[in-house]
Structure 1
Amino acid sequence: MGGVLEGFGVIGVVIGVGFLVAHLGIIGAESQLLLARLVFFVASPALLFSVLSDVDAVAVLSSRLVVAVVSFVVVAVIAATFARLVWHMSRGDATIATLCAAYVNSGNLGIPIAVYALDDASAVASVMLFQMLIVSPVAFLLLDQDRAGRRLSVFKVVTIPFRNPITVGSLLGLLVAITGWQLPSAVVDPIDMIAGMAVPGMLIAYGVSLRLGPRPGNGAPSQQVAVATVLKLVLQPACAYGCGLLLGLEGNALMAVTVVAALPTAHNIFVHATRYGRSQLLARDSIFVTTILSVPVVLLIVAALA
C-alpha cells in the first residue's frame, strides 16, 4: 500500500507547485494555455512514443486488454447517454464528459502505481495501448467534427488520426515496438528528454487552473461531476473485476486489472478540454474529485484482493 500512497503523493506535490506558481503570479491564464498547448503538441506525443516503443506488443494483447475494453465501453455508453439525453450536451462537450467518466489515468499515475503497488510495470500497458490507439483517435475525431460545426469529408475523417500529434506519437511508438527497431541514441535521447516534460507539464497546468479558475465544486454542475465520479470509481472497477472473473483471472492478475480500472480520470483530459474549449470545468473538477477519492478506493481494492 505504501507504493499506492507514494504514487498519489508525487502527483499531489507537482499539482501543488502549479497552484503555488499561479498564486505567486509567476504563471497567468495565458501562460497556462501556452503550457497546455506545449504539452499537447510536443511533450505528450514524445512521451507516448517513448512508452509504447518499449512495450511487448504481443503480451498486451491478452485478457487484460479484454478487461480494459469491456470496462471502458460499459462506462462510456452510460456516460454518453447521460451527456446527450439527460444533460443535452453538444457532441464535443459530451465527448469530454464521457472521457471524464471512463478514461483511466494510466500514465502519470498508472505507471508509478503499477511499479510500486503491483510490482508489474506492464499492468497498465494494455489499457494505455487501447486508450491511445483506439479511444483517443475516436475522441479527437468527434471533437474535431464538433469544432468544425459540420460533418467532415471522408478524407478528413480518415486522416484526422494522422494529423493529431498524440495519435501519431502513439502509432510511431507501437510501430517501433512491433518491428523491434533499435533507434540510435541521437534520436531516442532528445525524444526522452522532451517526454520528461509531459507529466509535470500537464500537472502544473492543472494546478494553475485550480488557483485561477473557480474553486472545485463551484464550476461544473455538481450532478455531472457526481455521475462521472460514480461511473469512474465504482462501476468501472466493478466491471473490470467481473470481467476478470469471467476470464479466469485470479490473485494478483485480478487485483491488477481492478486497480487499474479504479484509477482516477486522466489529467490529459483537462489538456484536451482546454485545447478544444469544451467542458473544461467538468474535466478539471472530475479529475480533482476522482483523484482524491480514488485513494481510499484503490487501498480498499488492494486490501481485499492482495
Structure 2
Amino acid sequence: MTLITNLASVFANTVLPVFLVAGAGYVLARFIALEGRTLGRVVFYLASPALVFRSLYNMNISTAALTQVLLLVLGVYLITGFAGWMAGLDQERPQRSALTISSAISNNGNMGLPITLFALGNAGLVIATIYYATSALLTNTLGVIIASTGSAPLSKALRQSLRAPVLYATLLGIALNRLAMPIPEPLYRAIDLTAGAAIPMMLVLLGVQLSATPINSEQRVIWRSMVIRLGLSPLAAVALCMLLGIDGLERQVVILQASMPTAVVATVLATEFVTAPRLVAAAVLFSTLASMATISLVLVLIT
C-alpha cells in the first residue's frame, strides 16, 4: 500500500469516527440549547474519574514501565511549554502565557483516548489513560501556574486544582492496583458502567466546546503554538522514548498521545486568568482541525 492509501485508511477507520461524533456535538450545540457547562461537569466530576480509576485499577504494567511513562509525560510537557514561552518572547506577557499553555496542554482526554482505543485497542487505552491522568495533573498544577502569570492570584487557583476528582481517581486506582485489593462487584459494575460513558461524552463535549470557540483576528501567532503542539511534541516524545528506553506498545501510545492538539481546558485557564483567551481559543480550534491530517500521519508512521 502507498503512503496516501495508508493515510486514507487510517483517517477513515480511526480519526474520522472521532470527528464525526465531535461534529454531532458541534451541530447539536448550534441548533438546540445544549448546555456545555453542565455536560462538562458531568464529564469532569463523574465520567472521566471513573474511566481513569477503572483503567488504572485494571492496568497490567510494571512499576518501571509506569515510571517511564510518567517521566515522558512530564518531559514532553516541560519541553513544549518552554518552547511556547520562547516562541512568545516578542509578545506581551498575557500573549506569551497564552502561547505557552496552548503549546503544552494537549487534548489527551476528549481526543487522545478514543483515537488510541480505535488504533491500539484496550491495551493501548490503559497506557493512554495513564498519560491522560498525568497530563491532567500537570495542567492543574504547572498549567495553572503558567496561566496565572497573566494576572490572577495563584494560591486560589492551586487550592481549586486540589478539588479535581481525576487527582484522587489516579491515586486510588494506582494504590488499589498495586495492593491487588478487590472491589465489591456491585461497586465495580457501577464504576464500569459510568466509565463506559466517558469517551462518547468527551467527544460530544469537544464538539459543543468548539461550537463556542470564536474565530478572531489574533491568528497571526497561532501557527507558532500549532507547530509546537503538532510537530515538536511528537518529536520530543520520540526522543524521550529513546532516552528512557520505552518501546513496543508503550512507545506507540505515548507518541500518539503527544501528537494531540491543544485541549479546550487551555481556553478555560486562559479565560479564568485573563491570559489572551481569544488567542488560546483560536489555537484550540485550528490545531484540532489541523490534527486530522497530522494524527493520521503519526498513526501511519508508528503502526
Normalising by structure 2, we get a TM-score of 0.76
Asked if 2 retains the 8 angstrom alpha-carbon contact of 1:133 and 1:171, the reply is no
Residue in 2 aligned with 1:105?
A: 107
Q: 1:34 aligns with which of 25, 38, 45?
A: 38
Q: 1:48 aligns with which of 37, 49, 52?
A: 52
Residue 224 of structure 1 and its aligned partner are, at CA, apart by 4.0
Q: 2:155 aligns with which of 141, 152, 156?
A: 152
Deviations along 1:232-275, one digit per CA (max 9) or x if unpaired, are: 11111122222333445567765554333222234554566677
Residue in 2 aligned with 1:74?
A: 79
Residue in 1 aligned with 2:134?
A: 130
Is residue 8 from structure 1 mapped to residue 5 from structure 2 by the alignment? no
Counterparts of 2:196 and 2:47 in 1: how far apart (Å)?
7
Q: 1:264 aligns with which of 252, 261, 266?
A: 261
- Structure 1 unpaired stretches of 5+: none
Bigger drift between 173-182 and 114-123 goes to 114-123
Is residue 184 from structure 1 mapped to residue 181 from structure 2 by the alignment? no
Counterparts of 1:270 and 1:189 in 2: how far apart (Å)?
34
Counterparts of 1:278 and 1:192 in 2: how far apart (Å)?
38
Matches within 5 A, 1:167-182: 167-182=167-182
What is the root-mean-square deviation of aligned Cα atoms in Å? 3.7
Give the aligned residue type for 2:175. Answer: L
Residue 87 of structure 1 and its aligned partner are, at CA, apart by 3.5
Residue 33 of structure 1 and its aligned partner are, at CA, apart by 2.4
Counterparts of 2:270 and 2:154 in 1: how far apart (Å)?
20
Counterparts of 2:270 and 2:42 in 1: how far apart (Å)?
14
Counterparts of 1:244 and 1:219 in 2: how far apart (Å)?
37
Counterparts of 2:82 and 2:118 in 1: how far apart (Å)?
32
Counterparts of 1:206 and 1:305 in 2: how far apart (Å)?
26
Closer, same or farther: CA 87–195 of 1 in aligned 2, 3 Å: farther
Asked if 2 retains the 8 angstrom alpha-carbon contact of 1:4 and 1:117, the reply is no
Closer, same or farther: CA 223–187 of 1 in aligned 2, 3 Å: farther
Is residue 208 from structure 1 mapped to residue 208 from structure 2 by the alignment? yes
Q: 1:58 aligns with which of 57, 63, 73?
A: 63
Closer, same or farther: CA 47–85 of 1 in aligned 2, 3 Å: farther
Closer, same or farther: CA 211–138 of 1 in aligned 2, 3 Å: closer
Asked if 1 retains the 8 angstrom alpha-carbon contact of 2:54 and 2:191, the reply is yes
Aligned length: 293
Counterparts of 2:250 and 2:130 in 1: how far apart (Å)?
13
Percent identity between the aligned chains? 23
Asked if 2 retains the 8 angstrom alpha-carbon contact of 1:97 and 1:283, the reply is yes
Matches within 5 A, 1:215-234: 218-219=215-216, 221-234=218-231
Residue 290 of structure 1 and its aligned partner are, at CA, apart by 2.4
Counterparts of 2:18 and 2:290 in 1: how far apart (Å)?
14
Residue in 1 aligned with 2:32?
A: 25
Give the aligned residue type for 2:155. Answer: L
Deviations along 1:17-63, one digit per CA (max 9) or x if unpaired, are: 22222232242xxx222222332233332332223222236154354
Bigger drift between 49-58 and 1-10 goes to 1-10
- Structure 2 unpaired stretches of 5+: 1-5
Closer, same or farther: CA 251–282 of 1 in aligned 2, 3 Å: same
Counterparts of 1:85 and 1:177 in 2: how far apart (Å)?
47
